Amino acid sequence: MGGPSALPLLLLLASCGAPGGANLSQDDSQPWTSDETVVAGGTVVLKCQVKDHEDSSLQWSNPAQQTLYFGEKRALRDNRIQLVRSTPHELSISISNVALADEGEYTCSIFTMPVRTAKSLVTVLGIPQKPIISGYKSSLREKETTTLNCQSSGSKPAAQLTWRKGDQELHGEPTRVQEDPNGKTFTVSSSVTFQVSRDDDGADIVCSVNHESLKGADRSASQRIEVLYTPTAKIRPDPPHPREGQKLLLHCEGRGNPVPQQYLWEKEGSVPPLKMTQESALIFPFLNKSDSGTYGCTATSNMGSYKAYYTLNVNDPSPVPSSSSTYHAIIGGIVAFIVFLLLILLIFLGHYLIRHKGTYLTHEAKGSDDAPDADTAIIHAEGGQSGGDDKKEYFI
């Protein structure tokens, strides 16, 4: 009973006495690395570190087990591979212009006893090519159903395709995946089927590629579609409120693809038609009351025709506000305001003159209080005679 139960303990003691057995719980001489992902054509950095190098150098080798660097010494002549950092505890190298063939497991080794290694898996992403849209014909008719195809090659892993019309998402078929002849990349394709309307005329149908290598960048193709549809029309009067004696133009505004090429004007109750022309306007040089009535315009193209109606009511020739009368009203208002200011100025000036005139007359009255009576004036005259002075008084 005691012999078999002691065997595991003896094996544990033997392993502890073996070389390196004391580091089984934590091996400071074990190097470590990390997996890397890089886009084809980019640069990847491989970093290997160790805590206890035991006086040995680190080494990097490729998936074909070719040594790339041993310490700071280059072993493989490939100018794409460069030394980044070499110390007793770290060996880092870079590979530029990475190709799909560079994908695989890279090994970092340290030549201790025993040799210890660490693996770094390098994944290379294949960039999808610009998609190509096919299946479109020259033009589509309204309500016609069409199917467009989209394809993109070179993605790794396989990309996803999405559709949209302007800002509206289109639900296409699931993306189909096919491996490329190189055995590394994939070709993806998708199709979308939809019915067109007149609002789709001139719309862009866009196929976009979604892939992690693009890092959010847009990679898409677009196809502008043309939709043929029957015309529509509406009649617009110029001026909007016609009056007797004025000149009137009725514009028949046609819309369609193709644009209407012929316009037929009619008046209800009038035979034959008024006018058939390629021009869209019906002209009334001088409106009369008799011109009142309902007018029809038929716009015609290769896709069909459409008839619009307009009821004309000729108003009396009474003046209506216009831009010229408004201008004259503004001028008249300005003149009236100036005349008003002049009147105010004259009133203040008259008041000022009257007050100062009254002051002047008051001063004149005070000066006349010391003068002789207005009706009588006594004039004293002195005359000299040899016998004495004579005084004469004159009464007037």
Which ranges in the chain belong to alpha helices (H)?
2-17, 323-367
Mean pLDDT across 192-198: 95
SS3 state of residue 119? strand
pLDDT digit string (tens) for 70-108?
Answer: 999 999 999 999 999 999 999 999 999 999 999 999 999
Residue 48 has pLDDT above 90, yes or no: yes
pLDDT digit string (tens) for 204-257?
Answer: 999 999 999 999 899 999 999 999 999 999 999 999 999 999 999 999 999 999
Query: Tokens standing for 335?
Result: 């003149």
Give the model's pLDDT for residue 362. Answer: 52
Phi, psi of 233 (to 5 degrees): -155, 155
Name residues whose C-beta falls within 8 Å of residue 216's C-beta, 6 or more positions apart in sequence. Answer: none
The band of 358, judged by pLDDT with boundaries at 50, 70 and 90, is low
Name residues whose C-beta falls within 8 Å of residue 243's C-beta, 6 or more positions apart in sequence. Answer: 287, 314, 315, 316, 317, 318, 320
pTM, two decimals, is 0.65
Give the model's pLDDT for residue 223. Answer: 97
Residue 368 has pLDDT above 70, yes or no: no
Give the model's pLDDT for residue 390. Answer: 45
Mean pLDDT across 48-59: 93
In order of their start, the domains of the chain are 31-125 (2.60.40.10), 132-229 (2.60.40.10), 230-312 (2.60.40.10)
Give the model's pLDDT for residue 278. Answer: 72
Asked if 282 and 310 count as a contact pair (C-beta separation under 8 A), the reply is no
- Which residue from 153, 205, 146, 206 is spatially nearest to 176, judged by alpha carbons? 153
The average confidence (pLDDT) of the chain is: 84
Give the model's pLDDT for residue 333. Answer: 87
Peptide bond between residue 240 and the one before it cis (omega within 30 degrees of 0): no
Mean pLDDT across 41-48: 97
Amino acid of residue 388: G
Exposure string for 47-73, b = 16+ CB within 10 A, e = fewer: bbbbeebeebbbbbbbeeeeebbbeee
DSSP track, 177-198? EEE-TTSS-EEEEEEEEEE--G
Residue 310 has pLDDT above 90, yes or no: yes
Give the model's pLDDT for residue 386. Answer: 39
Residue 165 has pLDDT above 80, yes or no: yes
Give the model's pLDDT for residue 276. Answer: 74
Residue 272's alpha-carbon distances to 227, 261, 265, 267, 276, in angstroms, are: 35, 21, 10, 9, 11
